[in-house]
Structure 1
Amino acid sequence: MTSFSGYLPYAFALIIAIPFLVLLRQFVHAYIKLKNQEINLLSVKSNSENKTHSYERMTLFLERIKPSNLILRFDKNLAAHEFIFLTEKTINEEFEYNSSQQLYLTKNSWKNIVDSKNAVIDLLHTTYESFNNSPELDEFKTVFIMNYMNGEDYIAVTIEDLRREILIIA
């Protein structure tokens, strides 16, 4: 029995330490669980912010390619074909710059944006081709705007679709 009495202080310390170790383990487990939830919440928030930013950037792109905004760009002394070349180049460059935004948009929204961009470029060319000779720039711009106004306002429709989608996301 003397040999057991030598272990008694250790057994007593172990009996007192076990509840503290269990509580410490529960505390650490709860802390890790809360930190994981915080990380998940931050990643969801970040993803939502990326989506919102993408919708904003693509709406800005669509606003910039509206014919009423396009005709204000570039020097007034350009020939109509030079204006078309520079406008198409600018539209394509800005589109390429924003093309990574498709990761955060729905397929339908991205398709509508691409279709709107292509429709504006097509309208530039068909308007130019409608003239028998090389038009003056002011005359070309007037007919270009009139052709857009007489057709479907596909840019406004696309922006409205983006607006509806962002309300669903937010």
Structure 2
Amino acid sequence: MKVEKEIIKRIEQAEKLYAQYGKTISNDETVKDIIAHLEQVIEKRRRCMISCGMTDICRRCDTEEGGSCCGKGIEARYDEWLLLINLLLGCNLPRERYEDNSCLFLGKDGCILKALHVICINYLCKKIEERVSRDDLLRLRDMEGDMIAAIFCLHEYLKRSYSKHEISEKDPAKACTVL
């Protein structure tokens, strides 16, 4: 029950930040640049996951075999800044679970978020490692590194620039340079 209250509180904090500063943040050139890059990486990773069969393996495991890596409690890893990034990417944040024992962000067709926590990006179960080719896994891992770097840069930039619900001095030069 405590996790439920905490994640709802973080969702509300993210929505408050978005309501107060979403337009300003969306017009921030550094944010626009990082988001444009992040959206490309997310789409590239999504296509790779589909083409290598990973999406089907995960769906089958969840719906037919009763397993899911996206279990209840994973959502506790998400802070208001990562949730804000998802709002900036056009995601809607739920207040109720699609399935009782699943992550709050797991919907009917998979994760409803675009900007994921590092554990959600990096974790690959044994089935995936056994059934997906080594070359596809290497390509996927490369994209995951790009995705993690972009999310990290945006996450840290937003925290530095917009923390405490006040707009502070923003210095684009202090944005992450790993992109």
Pairwise TM-score range, normalised by the shorter structure: under 0.3
Larger Rg, first or second structure (1 or 2) = 1
TM-score, with normalisation over the residues of structure 1? Answer: 0.28
| Higher share of residues assigned helix | 1
